[in-house]
Amino acid sequence: MDVVQNLVVKVPVLEEQQKIAGILKVCDDKIALNNKENDNLQQQAQLLYENFITTIDETPIAISKVIDVRDGTHDSPKPFEAGYPLVTSKHLLPFGVDVISPNKISEFDYNKINKRSKVDTNDILLSMIGTVGLVSLIIEDEINFAIKNVGLFKTSKCPQYAYYLLCYLKSKETAQHIEKCLAGSTQKYISLTELRKMPIIIPDVVDINKFNNLVTPLFRLIIENVKANKVLTAIRDRLLPKFMSGKLDVSGLDL
C-alpha cells in the first residue's frame, strides 16, 4: 500500500485533460451512434423476416438437410501462451467474435479441432451450453481461432441462406424451440443432434432472392458499422496512454 501511495503519476493539467476527453468523446459518440443504428437495422431485418416467412408455403425440414451443422471441441486443451484463441459461447458477438479474451491453445490443438470444426467467413455460430442460443455471424476476413461448445452452421458453403438462417436463429420461434430441446440439470445445453433436427422452412430460389434483396443492404451496413467500431475502439485505446504520458501534445489544439 505504501508503495502505491508513493508512486509519482504524471497527470496533464485540467485544460489538457478536457481536450483529451473531447477527442476521445468523438470516438465514443460515433461508436454509440453506430450501435444505435445497428440495433434499428437488426430490428428492421427481423421484421422483414417475420413478414416474409408467413408468405412461404413449404413444409419444414431438418436444417441439416440443407446446411452442414457441426460443433466445436468438447475437450479442454492445455493453455498455450502464444497460441490461438479458443472461442467459447461467452466470446460470441452478434457479428464476429472476441478473440482477445479467450484462452490460447497450441497450434497442434488448433489444427486438431479445425480438422472437424473449421470456422470460415460467413459461417454462423450458436452457443450450446450455459446461455444457449447466442448467435454470431462471422464477418472476419481472416479466421485464426477454434471453437469449443459452440454450434457451427456452415453457411459459408451456401451463402444464399446466410442472412435467412441468421434471422431464423434469432427469431422468437427458434428460441422457444431451443428452450424445449435443452438437456442437463445443473447446466443447460443443447446437443448437436438437436441442432441438426431443428425444423426450418426453406424458400425456393425465387423467394430467397427476394428476401436477400430486402435484407442484404441492411446487413451490409451493420457489418460496415461493426468494422468501423473496431477501428474506432483501437484508435481510442491507442491514443489514451499516449495522451496521458505526454507523448502526444494537445496543448496547442483549439477545441
Phi, psi of 245, rounded to the nearest 5 degrees = -85, -10
Query: What value does the mean pLDDT take over residues 15-37?
Result: 82
The residue type found at 169 is: L
Q: Looking at the structure, tell me whether residues 157 and 186 fall in a common domain.
A: yes
Tell me, yes or no, whether 172 lies in a domain.
Answer: yes
| Count: domains in the chain | 2
Supply the pLDDT for residue 147. Answer: 98
| Predicted TM-score (pTM) of this structure | 0.88
E strands, 13-165, are 61-62, 69-71, 79-87, 104-105, 124-127, 135-137, 146-147, 150-153
Q: Looking at the structure, tell me whether residues 184 and 236 fall in a common domain.
A: no
Q: Looking at the structure, tell me whether residues 102 and 155 fall in a common domain.
A: yes
Q: Looking at the structure, tell me whether residues 130 and 251 fall in a common domain.
A: no
Tell me, yes or no, whether 8 lies in a domain.
Answer: no
Tell me, yes or no, whether 187 lies in a domain.
Answer: yes
Tell me, yes or no, whether 1 lies in a domain.
Answer: no
Sign of CA dihedral 244, 248, 253, 255: negative
Q: Looking at the structure, tell me whether residues 214 and 224 fall in a common domain.
A: yes
Question: Would you say 114 and 126 are in contact if contact means Cβ atoms under 8 Å apart?
Answer: no
Assign residue 88 the CATH number of its domain: 3.90.220.20
**Sequence-separated (6 or more) residues with CB below 8 Å from residue 252:** none
Q: Over the stretch 228-247, which tens digit does the pLDDT of each residue have?
A: 999 999 988 887 766 666 65
Q: Looking at the structure, tell me whether residues 84 and 124 fall in a common domain.
A: yes
Q: Which domain holds residue 41?
A: 13-58+203-255
Q: Over the stretch 103-130, which tens digit does the pLDDT of each residue have?
A: 999 999 999 999 999 999 999 999 999 9
Tell me, yes or no, whether 7 lies in a domain.
Answer: no
Tell me, yes or no, whether 5 lies in a domain.
Answer: no
Assign residue 215 the CATH number of its domain: 1.10.287
Tell me, yes or no, whether 153 lies in a domain.
Answer: yes
Q: Looking at the structure, tell me whether residues 19 and 33 fall in a common domain.
A: yes
DSSP 251: T
> 104 pairs with which residues across the strands?
85
Tell me, yes or no, whether 4 lies in a domain.
Answer: no
Q: Looking at the structure, tell me whether residues 101 and 179 fall in a common domain.
A: yes
Question: Would you say 202 and 61 are in contact if contact means Cβ atoms under 8 Å apart?
Answer: yes
CA angle 34, 36, 41 (to 5 degrees): 90
**Residue 73 clears pLDDT 60, i.e. is over it:** yes
Q: Which of 180, 201, 222 is the last residue of a domain?
A: 201
Q: Looking at the structure, tell me whether residues 84 and 25 fall in a common domain.
A: no
Query: What value does the mean pLDDT take over residues 22-41?
Result: 91
Confidence band of 22 (pLDDT split at 50, 70, 90): confident
CA dihedral 54, 194, 161, 131 (to 10 degrees): 90
- CA-wise closest residue to 99 among 80, 116, 86, 82: 86
The residue type found at 72 is: G
- CA-wise closest residue to 167 among 221, 129, 124: 124
The Cα–Cα gap between 182 and 179 comes to 6
- CA-wise closest residue to 145 among 114, 189, 182, 171: 114
Q: Looking at the structure, tell me whether residues 226 and 170 fall in a common domain.
A: no
Q: Looking at the structure, tell me whether residues 195 and 215 fall in a common domain.
A: no
Q: Over the stretch 144-157, which tens digit does the pLDDT of each residue have?
A: 999 999 999 999 99
pLDDT > 70 fraction of the chain, expressed in percent and rounded: 86
Residue 10's H or E segment, with its range, is: none
E strands, the chain, are 61-62, 69-71, 79-87, 104-105, 124-127, 135-137, 146-147, 150-153, 199-200
Q: Looking at the structure, tell me whether residues 143 and 86 fall in a common domain.
A: yes
Name the grid cell of 161: 441462406
